[in-house]
Amino acid sequence: MYKPKKIILTAGPSISGLEVRYVTDAVKNGWNFHFRDYIERLENAFARYIGVKYALTLSSGTAALHMSMLGLGIGRGDEVIVPETTFVASANVVRYVGAKPVFVDVERDSWCIDPKKIEKLITKHTKAIMPVHIYGNVSDMNPIQKIAKKHKLFLVEDACPSLGATYNGKKTGNLSDVAAFSFQGAKIAVAGEGGMLVTNNEEIYKLAKYYSNDAKDPNRIFWHTDIGYMNRMSNTQAALGLAQLERNDEFVEKKRKIFNWYNKRLGDIDGISLNTERKGTKNIYWMSSIVLNKNFGKTRDQIRDELKKRLIDTRPFFYPVSMFPMYEEQKTPVAHYIGLNGINLPSGVNLKEEVVDYIAGEVKQTLSAA
C-alpha cells in the first residue's frame, strides 16, 4: 500500500535528457548570431503542431491574450464576451485595452462557456467572443463559430490549458481568429513562464508581433511608432519549450491515463462528477477534477483541508471572475456553483497509478466520513 512521505502536488513537469540538452545548448551557444535559433524552431514547430500559419512566442499566456486583443484592434468602448469560469487574465486583458469583459455563464458538465447564453449578451459594442478550454476540456466551438459568423464577431480562444486537445479532429487554437497558449510551470508543457499566440491571419500576427516588441519601426533602428510592450520570450525558455512540445503527445496520453485511473475509482461515487469529454473532442485533462453535487456535510474547503492533512494538495476551481472587486458581480449560477464546489486533484504528468489509487481512496474516505 502506497503511503506518501511528502505532499503530493497538483502539478509538476517531466524533464528528460532532451530538455537538458536543448537548454544547455541554448545557454552555451544561444547568443549573438544564434540568439533566436530556439525561438524560431519553437515557433515553426508549434505552428505545425496546431496546424496554423503563424505562431508568436511571448512571455506568458496572459501576454498572448493581451496581444490578441491588440492584434484584433479591440479597444475603448468595445465589449468582449468572456466565460465566468476562467483564470482572471482572460478578463483582465480585455480591460488592459480599455474594453469591457461581458461575463457569460458556463455549462454544468464541461465547465466551458455555454453557447446557449451568448446571444442575449451581444450588443452593438460587442467585438469578440473568448471561449476558454478550461482545465483541458474543449468548448463547444461549432455553435460558437456560427454565432460569431452571424453577428460578425471575432473569436479568440483562450487555449492556455489545452495544448494538444482537439475538436472534430482540429487542434484547439485552430478554431478561431487568434488563440493563446501558456507555458507556465504547472501547464502540460512548460518553459518556466511563457506563452504563444497562434493565428492564420497575417495582419493579426504582424500587429501582435509589433506591439509585443516595443512597437519598433521595422525599418529604422530605435525608432518607435506607438506605445508598445516588452513581451518577448527568451531563447533559453524557448529551448525548454521546444523539448516539451516535442514530447507533448506523450504528456497528453499520460494525462488521459491519469484521468482514467481517477475515473475508474471515483466515477461511480454518488454526488460527485468528474471532467467530461464532449463527443468529437479529445480532452487533455490538464487537471483531473471533481465537482461536489450534493451536500457532504462539509464545505469544499474543509474537504481540501482534510486532504491536505493526508498529504494531498488540491486546487479550488476558479471563482467566477465577476466576483472579484474590480468587476461587477453577475448572476451566473453554474459558474458560482462550480466555483465553490469544484476541486482540482493532483494531475502532474509524473503521477503513478499507485499514487492516484491512494488519492482516490482518501477522497472517498473524506467524503464518506462527512
Q: Which residues bind ligand PLP (CB under 6 A)?
A: 60-62, 86-87, 89-90, 132, 158, 160-161, 182, 184, 195
Segment holding 147, helix H or strand E: helix 141-150
Cβ distance to ligand PLP smaller for residue 62 or 244: 62
Q: Are strands 272-274 and 166-167 parallel, antiparallel or unpaired?
A: unpaired
- Give Cα 90 to chain centroid, integer Å: 10
Q: Cβ of residue 194: shortest distance to ligand PLP, in angstroms?
A: 7
Sheet holding 315-316, edge to edge: 272-274, 289-292, 342-344, 315-316
Q: Cβ of residue 65: shortest distance to ligand PLP, in angstroms?
A: 6
Q: Cβ of residue 17: shortest distance to ligand PLP, in angstroms?
A: 26
- Closest by CA to 208, choosing from 156, 172, 166, is 156
Q: Cβ of residue 366: shortest distance to ligand PLP, in angstroms?
A: 26
Cβ distance to ligand PLP smaller for residue 65 or 355: 65
Q: Are strands 170-171 and 166-167 parallel, antiparallel or unpaired?
A: antiparallel
Report how far residue 306's alpha carbon sits from residue 303's, in angstroms, rounded to the nearest whole number: 5
- Closest by CA to 89, choosing from 70, 55, 61, 131, is 61
Cβ distance to ligand PLP smaller for residue 12 or 361: 12
Q: Cβ of residue 219: shortest distance to ligand PLP, in angstroms?
A: 32
Report how far residue 81's alpha carbon sits from residue 102's, in angstroms, rounded to the nearest whole number: 5
Burial 146-182 (b: 16+ CB within 10 A, else e): ebbeeeebbbbbbbbbbbbbbbeeebbbbbbbbbbbb
Q: Cβ of residue 277: shortest distance to ligand PLP, in angstroms?
A: 18
Cβ distance to ligand PLP smaller for residue 10 or 62: 62
Report how far residue 96's alpha carbon sits from residue 362's, in angstroms, rounded to the nearest whole number: 43
Cβ distance to ligand PLP smaller for residue 80 or 367: 80
Cβ distance to ligand PLP smaller for residue 113 or 367: 113
Q: Cβ of residue 263: shortest distance to ligand PLP, in angstroms?
A: 22
Residues 6+ apart with CB under 8 A from 314: 10, 304, 307, 308, 343, 344, 345, 346
Cβ distance to ligand PLP smaller for residue 59 or 174: 59
**Residue least distant from ligand PLP (Cβ):** 61
